Amino acid sequence: MPQVPHPEVAVPRQLLVRRLTRPGEWPRLRSAAAAATSLSALAATSLVAAPAATADTGPGPCRLTRTAAHHSEGVSSWNGAYPRPRRTLDAVMVFLSFPDSGPLLTPRTLAADHFPSTTDFFERASYGKFRLRAHPRSSWIRMPRPSTDYEVRRDWKSDRRGAYLRDALAVSDPHVDFAKYDIVYFVADPDAPGVDSDATKVVNFEKPMRADGTDLRRIVTVFERHPPDRNVLAHETGHVFDLPDLYHRPSDGKGDWDTFVGDWDLMGSQFGLAPDFFAWHKWRFGWLKDPQVVCVQGGQDVTLEAVSKSPVDRRSRMRRDPATELASGASARAATGVGTGASTEARTSAGVSAPAGAGGQVLGAGVRVAARSDGAPPAPGGAHPSAPHGGSPAYAPPPSPPLRSMLRGNTVGPVRAPALGRRAPVAAPAPGKKLAVIRTGRDSVLAVEARSRVGNDRTTCTEGVLLYEVRGEAASGEGPVEVVDTHPDTEACWGDSVYPPLADAPLRTGESFRVPGERVRISVHGRTAEGDWKVRIRPE
């Protein structure tokens, strides 16, 4: 079933996708590969005899310049309008009810839909460098109008969206000190008649809203059903941190949405079988240091650790049950501050269902959370292979858990405060190489990374060395990243993959591939005892 993401919006005007297909000068790499590339068993005679580089030159020459494009993929500098996820960030979850519907669920139940799973996703993805800490309000706050008055929908009218946001801020400001938080989630009662689960998104303001003496540049509006789409908050968090949508929205709204990156990054699909962020995104965030990135100039051999290989994942089996991940009130920030400096266009304190002084809680151990700007359809079903494509005698991958159990909704139920001090500190990331980059143009690079069945990628369909093109001038939704299909004539994981033609995109051990349109060949000639991938890059 096709995934149907939701776009981000800007207030007062919505950011529109200028092009829904890639420009003619950038042909689809999958079709080009079918006609212009060769894929064969690796042999010594298949490689161009070029000397390997004796030392890394550093990633500087391969840095794309950040441009004015919305969510530009440039890494030359950080956009200061967005928080950078390299420290602990705090997010407040405000739960909104409506006079036309009494809530059937508690705020605690809805908070448990998203935490600690979102915190854990980012902790693994960041190698412990990013901590997401959510502060859910403990009571409902009532909106002044019936839910149907706001006409909530996927393509939300700007005047109705503006009314919703103004009302939500006005009724919550007396109970929340917004100055304490980096991220704001307005979570609507999922059972209210006017709530549409397709409308979850990040709303960006051209002119910030103001409350408690602080500017609110964006708000995450959450309209998820219970239980929600998996990884939905992690996807939206990516937008809060300036990551683009990587899906392709067909002009008629029909057809495949996942043709650019398939399963290979959360920003392409929250239902992807390998949803960890591309190494390029981890470099942007600062989760990868420059010594972990190789800028290839000429020929070079490099050993790549899997993107999802992390010290955090090695501790995951010792974690306590997710239902106990709410931090105790003693360690939580109070969410009871009375706002005294907020200014909104339609302020009212009427209709508050939470008792005065009702406190909030801290979820997870982590960072601030963002919301979703993509909507996605239900997870596809079907069988999942029990072993990866193409093994290596030098390395036996860990057994894969049943896919159905991995795709199941998050655990929901009563949340108990955990014992304090039971969580071990997160170790620093291993110093191995995670990303190789080849400059292909003024505004483009070819990225090379390894993907294995570990960490956030534990449900991946296939393992191997993934290639993808990055363009710094392409805006969100316009194909800033496109995966190269090294197996253009085959598909994999029908029924589970969001886009089977790209599910087997990575190169496997013993394979060699000439990149279409570029004079470069990538070969995988083995794995280490630790499971890292030995990659050879040669000009051709």
Packing angle of the helix pair 117-125, 232-240 (nearest 10 deg): 50
> Is residue 192 in a domain?
yes
Indicate the residue among 349, 366, 383 that finishes a domain.
Answer: 366
Q: Where are the alpha helices (DSSP H) in 315-357?
A: none
> Is residue 98 in a domain?
yes
Q: How many CB atoms lie within 10 A of CB 418?
A: 18
Predicted pLDDT of residue 394: 42
Q: Are 359 and 433 contained in the same domain?
A: no
Q: Are 291 and 177 contained in the same domain?
A: no
Q: Are 342 and 431 in contact (CB under 8 A)?
A: no
Which amino acid is it at 416? Answer: R
CA distances from 185 to 70, 134, 182, 255 (A): 22, 10, 10, 31
Pairwise CA distance, residues 373 & 236, whole Å: 6
User: Which range marks the domain in which residue 230 is found?
Assistant: 88-243+316-366
Q: Are 320 and 445 contained in the same domain?
A: no
Q: Are 516 and 480 contained in the same domain?
A: yes
DSSP 120: H
**Could you tell me which of 425, 371, 419, 456 has the C-alpha nearest to residue 91?**
371
Q: Are 496 and 382 in contact (CB under 8 A)?
A: yes
> Is residue 382 in a domain?
no
> Is residue 287 in a domain?
yes
Encoded tokens for 20: 């829904």
Pairwise CA distance, residues 482 & 220, whole Å: 27
Predicted pLDDT of residue 334: 36
Q: Are 304 and 448 in contact (CB under 8 A)?
A: yes
Please list the rounded mean pLDDT of every run of 10 residues in the chain (540 residues): 55 35 35 39 32 49 96 96 97 98 98 96 97 97 99 94 98 98 98 96 95 97 95 95 94 85 98 98 97 95 96 51 37 34 30 36 40 37 35 42 39 32 46 94 98 98 99 96 98 97 98 96 97 97
Give residue-wise pLDDT tens across range 400-413: 444 433 333 333 33
> Is residue 60 in a domain?
yes
- 34 in helix, strand or coil? helix
Q: Are 331 and 199 contained in the same domain?
A: yes
Q: Are 531 and 313 in contact (CB under 8 A)?
A: no
- Residue with structure tokens 């995109």? 505
DSSP string, 168-205: HHHHHTTT--GGG-SEEEEEE-TTSTT--GGG-EEEEE
Burial of 476 (0-12, 13-18, 19+ CB in 10 A): buried
Edge to edge, the sheet with strand 511-514 lists: 39-41, 511-514, 520-527, 533-539, 300-304
Residues 6+ apart with CB under 8 A from 431: 291, 292
Burial of 17 (0-12, 13-18, 19+ CB in 10 A): middle
> Is residue 270 in a domain?
no
- pTM of the shown model: 0.74
Which amino acid is it at 456? Answer: N
Q: Are 359 and 500 contained in the same domain?
A: no
Q: Are 187 and 67 contained in the same domain?
A: no
Phi–psi pair at 163, nearest 5 degrees? -65, -40
Pairwise CA distance, residues 378 & 230, whole Å: 9
Q: Are 288 and 345 contained in the same domain?
A: no
Predicted pLDDT of residue 283: 98
- Residue with structure tokens 């090379």? 448
Predicted pLDDT of residue 8: 72
Give residue-wise pLDDT tens across range 261-316: 999 999 999 999 999 999 999 999 999 999 999 999 989 999 999 999 987 555 54
Burial of 25 (0-12, 13-18, 19+ CB in 10 A): exposed
Q: Are 289 and 332 contained in the same domain?
A: no
Predicted pLDDT of residue 10: 65
Residues 6+ apart with CB under 8 A from 464: 388, 389, 390, 450, 451, 506, 507, 508, 509, 524, 533
> Is residue 70 in a domain?
yes
Pairwise CA distance, residues 471 & 474, whole Å: 6
Q: Are 464 and 390 in contact (CB under 8 A)?
A: yes
Strand-pair category, 9-11 with 481-483 = unpaired
Indicate the residue among 324, 346, 366 that finishes a domain.
Answer: 366
Pairwise CA distance, residues 436 & 472, whole Å: 17
As a residue count, the chain comes to 540
Query: How many independent structural domains does the chain possess?
Result: 2
Predicted pLDDT of residue 467: 99
For residue 89, the cross-strand partners are: 132
Q: Are 130 and 123 in contact (CB under 8 A)?
A: yes
Q: Are 330 and 217 contained in the same domain?
A: yes
Q: Are 445 and 515 contained in the same domain?
A: yes
Q: Are 140 and 47 contained in the same domain?
A: no
Residues 6+ apart with CB under 8 A from 227: 113, 409, 410, 412
* Cβ-defined contacts of 253-257 (< 8 Å, 24+): 253/4, 254/2, 255/2, 256/2, 256/499, 257/2, 257/3, 257/4, 257/5
Predicted pLDDT of residue 348: 30
Q: How many CB atoms lie within 10 A of CB 86?
A: 16
Indicate the residue among 328, 349, 366 that finishes a domain.
Answer: 366
Encoded tokens for 367: 């960072």
Q: Are 371 and 222 in contact (CB under 8 A)?
A: yes
Q: Are 400 and 516 in contact (CB under 8 A)?
A: no
> Is residue 15 in a domain?
no
Pairwise CA distance, residues 204 & 13, whole Å: 10
End-to-end CA gap in the chain: 40
